[in-house]
Amino acid sequence: MSGFDFDLFVIGGGSGGVRAGRVAAKGGAKVALAEEDRYGGTCVIRGCVPKKLMVYASAFSESFEAAKGFGWTVGKSSFDFSELMGSINTELDRLEKLYLKGLQGNGVTTFDTRATVKDAHTVVLPDGKEITAETILVATGSRPFIPAVKGAEHVISSNEVFLWKALPKRILVVGGGYIACEFSGIFNGMGAEVTQFYRGAQILRGFDGEVRGHVAEEMVRKGVNLHVGTDVSFIEKKTDGLHVTCTDGSTHIVDAVIYATGRIANTDNMGLEEAGVKLGRKGEIEVDQYSQSSVPSIYAVGDVTDRVNLTPVAIREGVEFVETVFNGNPTAMNHENIATAVFTQPEIGTVGLGQEEAGGLYNIEIYRAAFRPMLNILAGTDERMLMKLIVEQNTRKVLGCHIVGPSAGEMIQMAAIAIKMGATKEDFDRTVAVHPTAAEELVTMKEPVA
């Protein structure tokens, strides 16, 4: 080990850091990991896992109504938010123990505390203890950003939502990204009166334009009071609730204001810049294709690098880091054609380029199907699914696939394999449909619409 205490010291016990530490230790490296909060990080403790469980819970309200169309007599229903959160917290405790077991079972030394960087090979714990390592991996993730709006002391972020004991009756969600839109759908489905402000012209910036419009329309149809081109001017706390004055001069009285207006890297006061690590303008660690920072012995993976901020990406970056540094096989993470699901209501599954982006790069054809899925016919709802393929005219390669509707996330995982392999539209056409399913539309769209 050339005189170092450890071969690898990982700062951060989220998905990327835990995977990297565990895999490196399993391969024979002497590894330590420090986590100042809970093992599992944002995804497990205050992100995708509890959120997805809340999505499931919120969707039952529509399921009860749909059941009537299929001959079921559904009695009076009620929802206990505190009981749900108790069940969710029990599951999070179970998952956290599994993360810790995976580390310690592979011989990783864990420190339940904060760690900062002193120099290229030294980390420091709060008690002043210094630990040396041949390689340092920073995997500290990101945190919600709340702008300096007047009255910001009265708002919460997505982190605090998971600490609620009771569901507020009137909720304002500020933001237009996937986190804001997901929480609007969750709380609307649970029975709260939900208003959402977004300062831009349309929610879900960066997604295919038609997908954005489709989801926005369905959110409004389901009851979300969506205001685009609107932002908060100031917030006042009064006896009857929080009075939120927005940029058009109107005032909304709510019980809770949730800001979901982006995230920033957790690099504050970590000693990184003093150690020579170059940070970007938003505080993210700048790394090369192998996740190496400007200091050769310091690497970073996950949201702290602000590349593609998704849990599976952080995990894969952690694996590729170990392959590069400890297995002698330099492996760059491929960030192209990464599929993602957005658990809005309706759900989004997407991989590859949207129509606007693809149209600026290639000559394209658009294949589209919009229809009421079979479930909705007897359920008596007008909600429609949207499926869309973006095809490059010359090579016939499928550049993007976009699905909006039930199980979109499950479908896009399979479609992503084909697109990652370079499938053409004719490959899709040659695939026999599975009937009756909504997914069969992906292989039965024969004529382009644009």
- Burial (0-12, 13-18, 19+ Cβ within 10 Å), 27: middle
What is the distance between the alpha carbons of residues 48 and 312, in angstroms, rounded to a whole number? 11
Question: Annotated catalytic, 435?
Answer: yes
Residue-by-residue DSSP string for 135-173: EEEE---EEE-----BTGGG-EEHHHHTT-SS--SEEEE
Strands 193-198 and 170-174: parallel
What is the distance between the alpha carbons of residues 53 and 63, in angstroms, rounded to a whole number? 16
Contact 64, 74 (CB under 8 A): yes
Cβ neighbours of 150 (radius 10 Å):
12
What is the distance between the alpha carbons of residues 37 and 277, in angstroms, rounded to a whole number? 24
The length of the chain, given as a count of residues: 450
Contact 429, 446 (CB under 8 A): yes
432: DSSP letter: P
What is the distance between the alpha carbons of residues 302 and 296, in angstroms, rounded to a whole number? 18
**Distances in whole angstroms, Cα of residue 266 to Cα of each of 269, 270, 296, 369:** 9, 9, 20, 42
Chain CA centroid to CA 368, Å: 26
Q: Which residue among the candidates 121, 214, 243, 435 is catalytic per the annotation?
A: 435
Q: Which residue has the tokens 């007599």?
A: 73
Cβ neighbours of 435 (radius 10 Å):
8
- Annotated catalytic residues are 435
